[in-house]
């Protein structure tokens, strides 16, 4: 059963009575909170629709960093989970992606199943269209495609676009907000453990 709020009465008592033990127990629970959040975030938002694909260490997941906020006071303790990835930000908020230097973006065609793994990830050889040999552009129904002759058949592989509009699908902050009851449970557990050490004479 998850806690619905932080037990501030017990917390204040632990701060006064066993600050050292409380700092130690909070450090352990902050680590649990970070691991739990990242595990949930990875499982629910980085495995593909309705989220995005990027759960590998070399994918978007690998750009996230978790750190502890070290402080001489308990009030200053905390945790941070963040990324400096511009791609992550645009997947979180939504927005427009444009190619640099006036070039077009090559967007893989989802119906080209041979370009994707069984898990729906783009195969390595197709991640950089510029490295594919013998490709050429074709125009069909007002759209420009990057195509390749495969087995005597011309197959469009990518559609070329000046920009792509991305919807907000990462939901990093929504996942964090959904875990608040679990966070309260972890923090209350830290307080209970530190007080238990105090009452048993093991707090020092």
pTM of the model: 0.82
Nearest to residue 32, comparing CAs of 79, 70, 71, 69?
A: 79
Would you tell me how many other CB atoms lie within 10 Å of the CB of residue 88?
A: 19
Residue 2: predicted pLDDT: 76
Residue 193: predicted pLDDT: 94
Helices (H), the chain: 8-17, 19-45, 86-93, 172-178, 180-199
Nearest to residue 34, comparing CAs of 170, 171, 182?
A: 182
Q: Which residues pair with 66 in a beta bridge?
A: 81
Nearest to residue 22, comparing CAs of 91, 93, 95, 71?
A: 71
Burial-class residue 110 by CB neighbours within 10 Å (0-12, 13-18, 19+): exposed
Q: What is the pLDDT of residues 111-149, one digit of tens each?
A: 999 999 988 889 999 999 999 999 999 999 999 999 999
**Exposure string for 6-42, b = 16+ CB within 10 A, e = fewer:** eeeeebebbbeebeebbbebbeebbeebbeebbeebb
DSSP state of 72: S
Q: What is the pLDDT of residues 142-175, one digit of tens each?
A: 999 999 998 899 999 999 999 999 999 999 999 9
């Amino acid at each position: 059963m998850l806690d619905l709020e932080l037990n501030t009465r017990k917390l204040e008592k632990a701060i006064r009575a066993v600050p050292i033990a409380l700092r130690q127990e909070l450090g352990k629970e902050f680590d649990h909170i970070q691991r739990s959040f990242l595990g949930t975030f990875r499982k629910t938002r980085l495995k593909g629709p309705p989220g995005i694909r990027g759960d590998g260490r070399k994918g978007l997941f690998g750009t996230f960093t978790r750190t502890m906020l070290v402080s001489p006071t308990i009030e200053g303790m905390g945790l941070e989970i963040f990324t400096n990835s511009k791609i992550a930000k645009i997947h979180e908020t939504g927005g427009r992606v444009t190619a640099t230097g006036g070039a077009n973006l090559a967007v893989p065609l989802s119906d080209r199943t041979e370009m994707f793994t069984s898990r729906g990830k783009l195969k390595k050889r197709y991640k950089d269209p510029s490295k594919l040999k013998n490709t050429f552009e074709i125009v069909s129904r007002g759209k420009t495609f990057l195509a390749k002759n495969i087995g005597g058949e011309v197959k469009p592989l990518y559609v070329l676009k000046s920009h792509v509009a991305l919807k907000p699908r990462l939901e990093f902050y929504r996942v964090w907000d959904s875990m608040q009851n679990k966070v309260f449970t972890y923090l209350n557990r830290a307080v209970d453990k530190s007080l238990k050490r105090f009452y048993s004479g093991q707090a020092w």
